[in-house]
Amino acid sequence: MAEFLHLLPPSEALDHLIQALPQSSRMEAEQIATKEALDRVLASPVTAPYPLPSFARSTVDGYAVRAVGTYGASPSLPAYLDLIGEVLMGAPTDLSVGPNQAALIHTGGMIPEGADAVVMVEDTQRIRESETEVLKPVAVGQNILQVGEDVKAGDTIMEAGVWLRPQEIGGLMSLGVIEVSVARRPRVGILSTGDEVVPPEAEVGAGQVRDVNSYTLSALVSRAGGDPIRRGIIPDSYKALQETTRLAHAEDDIVVITAGSSVSARDLTADVIGSLGKPGVLVHGISIKPGKPTILAVADGVPMVGLPGNPVSALIVAGLFVVPIIRKLMGLKEPALTPRVPARMSVNIASETGREDYILVRLETTDEGLVAVPIYGRSNLIFTLVRADGLVRIPPEATGLDMGAEVEVILF
C-alpha cells in the first residue's frame, strides 16, 4: 500500500478528511425535550420569548427603599425609615414605597412601586416593629436586577452549533423553552476484526483475546455525542469484512474498523473501503505514535476510519480523529474543550523528531504541584489505559522531554 509510505502529520491528515466530507453530510435536526438535551448540539438558534428577569427583583435580603432617603447614612448618623410591610415571595406586591419608607424584601422578591434600591439587612438595625435604621447609603439600582438585565425579549440567547451543557439546559428552562431543535446523533458503526477476537462473555481459548475495542470505542463515541452501533466481530475474510462494512456504510453515518490497518498480508481494511465509493482512502499512515497505520477515508460521503487493533492505539487515535468527525457532523460551532492540567515530567522521555508522540501518564500530587509519571507498556497492554489519568503530547519538532519539563496533561 503505497500511501503508507507517505506519513502525514495528524493535523494535516484530519484536514484532508474534513475537507473531503460533503456539506450535506451534516446531521438533520430533530425536536426533543430540553430536559433530554444534555450534550446535544443545537440545530437552530433560540431566541428569548420574553425578558429575564421579567420583573425587577432583589439580589439580597433587606429593605426596598428610595435611595435618596439613605444618602449620608452611617452608624453614627443613621437614616430612619418607616416600615410599610413585607414583599411576599412568589406573588406580585401592591406595596408602594414613598419618601422615608421601606419594605422588607427577600432575595428574588419583586421590587415594589416607588423603590429604586435595596439596603442589605446587614446594613440595617431594626429599632421597633414599624421602623428601621439604615447604617449605610445605597445608590439607585443597587442590589436590584432590572427587567431584561440578563436577557432581553427577542435576543438570540444561543446560536446553532452550541453544545448544550448543564448551564445551557438551565438557561433554556428559565425561559420556559421546554423543547429544542438539535442535530441527530451520528450513528457510528464499529467493526472489530480478527479471527482471534471473541466476545467478552466467551471463554477464552488458546490464542484468543476478548473484544475490548468495540466497547472502549462505543463509550468514547457516546461521550462525544454519537450513537455507537456495534457491528460485531468480523473474521479475517475479505468477503465477510466487505459484507458487514457495506451494511454499516449503508446504514451508519461514520464507519470505524479496528485492526487490519497495518501493511501485511491480512490488510483488508483499505481494500474494502476502496470498494465502497469515491474518493476512497485519503490517508494510510500518520506520523504519530501510537497509531501509525491509521486509515482515513471517505466513501460516497461517508467518513471511514481504520484503526490499529491494539487497544491503546485504537483509543488514542479515535480520540484524535473519530471524535472530531462526530462533532463536525453535528455542526458543533466551536471545538469542544478537552480538560487539561499542568504538570511536570517525572523523568526524561525520548522521542523521534518528525513524529507526534502521545505518552500515557498518571498524575501524582507533590508539594511542588502535579507530576506526570509515564506508564510504560506496549500498546496492546490494556491496563496501561486503566492506570493512566491522561496523555502528554510530544510535538514532532521535539526530541523528547526533560525531567521537570512543564507539560499539559490531556485528561481522559
pLDDT tens digits for 210-221?
A: 999 999 999 999
Where would I find the H helices in 113-257? 166-174, 213-224, 238-251
1-to-154, 176, 256, 275 alpha-carbon distances in Å: 57, 57, 19, 15
Residue 335 pLDDT exceeds 80: no
Confidence class for position 380, pLDDT limits 50, 70, 90:
low
pLDDT digits (tens, 9 = 90+) for 7-44: 899 999 999 999 999 987 889 999 999 999 999 999 99
What is the C-alpha separation between 326 and 270, in angstroms, rounded?
21
Domains and CATH numbers, the chain: 2-27+185-329 (3.40.980.10), 30-52+149-183 (3.90.105.10), 57-145 (2.170.190.11), 340-411 (2.40.340.10)
The pairing of strands 295-299 and 302-307 is: antiparallel
Question: What is the residue-averaged pLDDT of the chain?
Answer: 93
Pick the more confident residue, 322 or 335.
Answer: 322
What is the C-alpha separation between 134 and 79, in angstroms, rounded?
5
What is the C-alpha separation between 286 and 288, in angstroms, rounded?
5
For residue 14, give the amino acid letter: L
pLDDT of residue 263: 54
Which pTM does this prediction carry?
A: 0.86
What is the C-alpha separation between 221 and 217, in angstroms, rounded?
6
Beta-carbon contacts of 354 under 8 Å, excluding residues fewer than 6 positions away, are 287, 396
pLDDT digits (tens, 9 = 90+) for 346-369: 999 999 898 999 999 999 999 989
Confidence class for position 6, pLDDT limits 50, 70, 90:
confident
Sequence-separated contacts (24+) of 378-385 with Cβ below 8 Å = 378/310, 379/290, 379/308, 379/310, 379/311, 379/312, 379/313, 380/309, 380/310, 380/311, 380/312, 381/312, 382/212, 382/311, 382/312, 384/312, 384/360, 385/216, 385/311, 385/312, 385/315, 385/360, 385/412
Cell of 377: 507498556
Confidence class for position 338, pLDDT limits 50, 70, 90:
confident
What is the C-alpha separation between 294 and 24, in angstroms, rounded?
25
Residue 136 pLDDT exceeds 70: yes
What is the C-alpha separation between 126 and 133, in angstroms, rounded?
6
Half-sphere exposure of 103 (CA within 13 A, CB side): 27
pLDDT of residue 262: 54
pLDDT of residue 264: 55
pLDDT digits (tens, 9 = 90+) for 266-275: 468 889 999 9
Residue 261 pLDDT exceeds 60: no
pLDDT of residue 29: 97
Confidence class for position 169, pLDDT limits 50, 70, 90:
very high
